[in-house]
């Protein structure tokens, strides 16, 4: 990358913004079709009642909550990883951070819709908000759903600004090259960024603080999502391991999503010279660690249940291990561990293709994991007389497909509007490579003249 000049970087990374191909539009239209179908399904469900879904007694949560946990988990790809890499000052992060942060914003937005989609009376969802209500009722803060409300909104605000702040200089870059109405739009978006040292200084310090703040927020978000389950006395839910287990799983699926997004960007936007094999290699190693961590958590959870030998827990245990859910369970183990582990552990297969394959299986496996946490437990709660099974209907399938389509679609649109790789951060990296910073940087208190060019 050292041979790239700043002009080349500008040109390469702004190219995706200049136009769209026919193929792009066809794919976009196809995805939009799925999203519209999902919206129609949702409105049909609102009109007809939740009965059109496959939900039933006693499995009152199914695909929707699975998707909720899955998408919130996926959102841990971006902001969290980006913040950790920023704080660790990992120089290879520069081309990775923005495409990661975008995943967070979109996945979180999609995930946050599911608590509304799954409601029996979604038009009253605002009753969850703490506002002075004419009904004289304040929401019940003891309910984990209220914690979700606070955590997800904090996380959403943090991650949106975490994405937008370092985007300002690049938006200014686009603004200066755009014409007509586009120029106006980008002028507004760039907030009048000019690049004075003061602005740079403040931006970098603000990003540093945000990176510190956003990590505990991200951890708390998925912990609270796990507490939605762990706070209920349901077999295999009511467990102290849930919070760290969910956070680890979230980061696991998040890294997989990031690798997939990067592989697609690299291929379709021709960013071969920016998203290098080293990035996939490094993220692949992270994915490997998380795969091991995931296996460790599943093992610890199952082992504890096994030795506890509680009849109700053992019912759920056997139903997933050897019973009707066992094909899904072992598929999950295959997808989350058996396939990705060797692919990522062997250096030869830790290539772009290898990590991408591993990521596909991990995304599938982690979706299954969430399904297997929710449905087997609910369908085998205590009194055997009231056990039941669950099978989704076309409504749930369409809405689920719609969210995946929405994710890809939003990502495609975003990559055409904003440079998906942070241009200014790349340039800084470039300059640092060319002129390594002096070992003893002049301190802030010294006169300005020191170290002048």
Partner 1 sequence: MNALRSAGVNRDNIVVMSDEPFEEYSFGHAEPSVAMPWLAVLGGLVGGTGGFLLARLTQVAYPIVTGGMPIVAPFPTAIVTYELTMLGAVLTTIVTLLITAKIPKWKQELYDPEVTRGKILIAVIDPADDARADLEDRLRNAGADEIKSTGRFSAI
Partner 2 sequence: MAHQWGMVIDLDRCTGCAACVVACHAENNISTVGEDQAARGRAKHWIRVERYYEGEFPDVRVKFMPVLCQQCDAAPCEPVCPTFASYHTIEGLNGQVYNRCIGTRYCANACPYNVRFFNFYNPEWDKPLNLQLNPDVSVRSVGIMEKCTFCVQRIKASEIQAEAEKRAVKDGEIQPACVQSCSPHAMVFGDLSDPQSEVSRLARSSRGTKLLGELGTQPKVTYLQRESWHGAENA
Interface residues toward partner 1, by CB under 8 A:
6-7, 10, 130, 133, 136-138, 140-142, 146-147, 150-151, 153-154, 157-158, 161, 165, 168-169, 172-173, 176-177, 187-188, 191-206, 209-210, 213-214, 216-217, 220, 224, 424, 427-428, 431, 437-438, 441-442, 444, 446, 448-453
Do residues 412 and 405 make contact, with C-beta atoms less than 8 angstroms apart?
A: no
Site track for partner 2 across 96-115, x = CB under 8 A:
-------------------x
Question: In whole angstroms, what is the distance from residue 34 CA to residue 415 CA?
Answer: 20
Q: Does 384 bind partner 2 (CB under 8 A)?
A: yes
Tell whether omega for the bond before 58 is within 30 degrees of 0, i.e. cis: yes
417 touching partner 2, by CB under 8 A: no
Helices 144-164, 97-117: axis angle to 10 degrees equals: 150
Spatial separation of the C-alpha atoms in residues 248 and 218, rounded to whole Å: 11
Torsion of CA 255, 256, 259, 263, to 10 degrees: -160
Handedness of CA 50, 53, 56, 58 (dihedral sign): negative
Q: Should residue 60 be labelled a site residue for partner 2 when binding is judged by CB under 8 A?
A: yes
Contacts of 283 (CB under 8 A, 6+ apart): 96, 255, 258, 259, 262, 355
Residue 301's contacts (CB-CB under 8 Å, 6 or more residues apart) are 236, 239, 241, 245
- By the 8 A CB rule, do 85 and 97 touch? yes
CB-based contacts of 7: which residues, under 8 Å, 6+ apart? none
Residue 158 binding: pick among partner 2, partner 1, none (C-beta 5-8 Å cut-off by kind) = partner 1
Pick between residue 61 and residue 186 the one whose CB is nearest to partner 2: 61
Smallest distance from partner 1 to CB 434, Å = 12
Is 206 or 328 the residue whose CB approaches partner 1 more closely? 206
Position among 17, 31, 61, 350 found at the interface with partner 2 (CB under 8 A)? 61
The entry of partner 2, partner 1, none near residue 115 (CB within 5 to 8 angstroms by kind) is partner 2
How many residues lie near partner 2 (CB under 8 A)? 44
Q: Does 43 help bind partner 2 (rule: CB under 8 A)?
A: no
**Which residue in 1, 28, 56, 273 binds partner 2 (CB under 8 A)?**
56
Give residues in contact with partner 2 (CB under 8 A): 48-51, 55-61, 115, 118-122, 124-125, 127-128, 135, 137, 139-140, 142-146, 149, 228, 231-234, 378, 381-386, 388
């Amino acid at each position: 990358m050292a041979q790239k000049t700043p002009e080349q970087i500008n040109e390469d990374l702004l190219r995706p913004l200049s136009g769209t191909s026919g193929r792009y539009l066809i794919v976009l239209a196809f995805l939009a079709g799925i999203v519209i179908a999902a919206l129609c399904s949702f409105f049909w469900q609102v009109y007809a009642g939740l009965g059109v879904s496959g939900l039933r007694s006693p499995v009152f949560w199914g695909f929707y909550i699975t998707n909720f946990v899955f998408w919130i988990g996926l959102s841990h790809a971006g902001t969290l990883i980006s913040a950790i890499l920023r704080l660790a000052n990992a120089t290879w992060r520069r081309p990775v951070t923005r495409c990661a942060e975008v995943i967070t914003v979109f996945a979180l937005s999609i995930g946050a819709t599911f608590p509304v989609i799954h409601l029996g009376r979604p038009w009253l969802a605002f009753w969850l908000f703490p506002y002075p209500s004419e009904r004289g009722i304040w929401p019940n803060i003891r309910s984990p759903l209220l914690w979700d409300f606070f955590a997800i909104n904090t996380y959403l605000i943090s991650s949106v600004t975490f994405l937008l702040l370092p985007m300002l200089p690049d938006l200014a870059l686009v603004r200066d090259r755009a014409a007509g109405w586009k120029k106006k739009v980008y002028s507004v978006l760039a907030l009048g960024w000019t690049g004075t040292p003061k602005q740079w200084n403040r931006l970098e310090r603000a990003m540093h603080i945000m990176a510190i703040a956003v990590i505990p927020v991200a951890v708390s978000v998925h912990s609270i999502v796990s507490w939605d389950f762990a706070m209920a006395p349901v077999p295999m839910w009511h467990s102290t391991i849930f919070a760290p287990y969910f956070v680890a799983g979230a980061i696991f699926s998040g890294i997989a999503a990031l690798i997939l997004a990067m592989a697609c960007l690299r291929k379709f936007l021709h960013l071969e010279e920016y998203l290098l094999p080293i990035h996939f290699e490094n993220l692949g190693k992270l994915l490997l660690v998380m795969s091991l961590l995931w296996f460790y958590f599943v093992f610890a959870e199952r082992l504890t249940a096994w030795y506890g030998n509680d009849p109700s827990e053992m019912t759920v245990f056997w139903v997933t291990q050897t019973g009707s859910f066992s094909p899904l369970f072992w598929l999950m183990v295959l997808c989350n561990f058996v396939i990705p582990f060797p692919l990522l552990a062997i250096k030869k297969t830790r290539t772009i293709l290898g990590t991408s394959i591993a990521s596909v299986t991990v995304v599938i496996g982690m979706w299954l994991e969430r399904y297997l946490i929710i449905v087997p437990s609910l369908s085998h709660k205590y009194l055997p007389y009231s056990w039941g099974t669950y099978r989704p209907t076309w409504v749930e399938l369409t809405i689920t497909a719609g969210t995946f389509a929405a994710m890809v679609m939003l990502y495609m649109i975003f990559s055409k509007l904003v440079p998906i790789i942070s241009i200014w951060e790349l340039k800084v990296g470039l300059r640092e490579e060319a002129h390594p910073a002096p070992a003893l940087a002049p301190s802030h208190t010294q006169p300005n003249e020191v170290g002048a060019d």
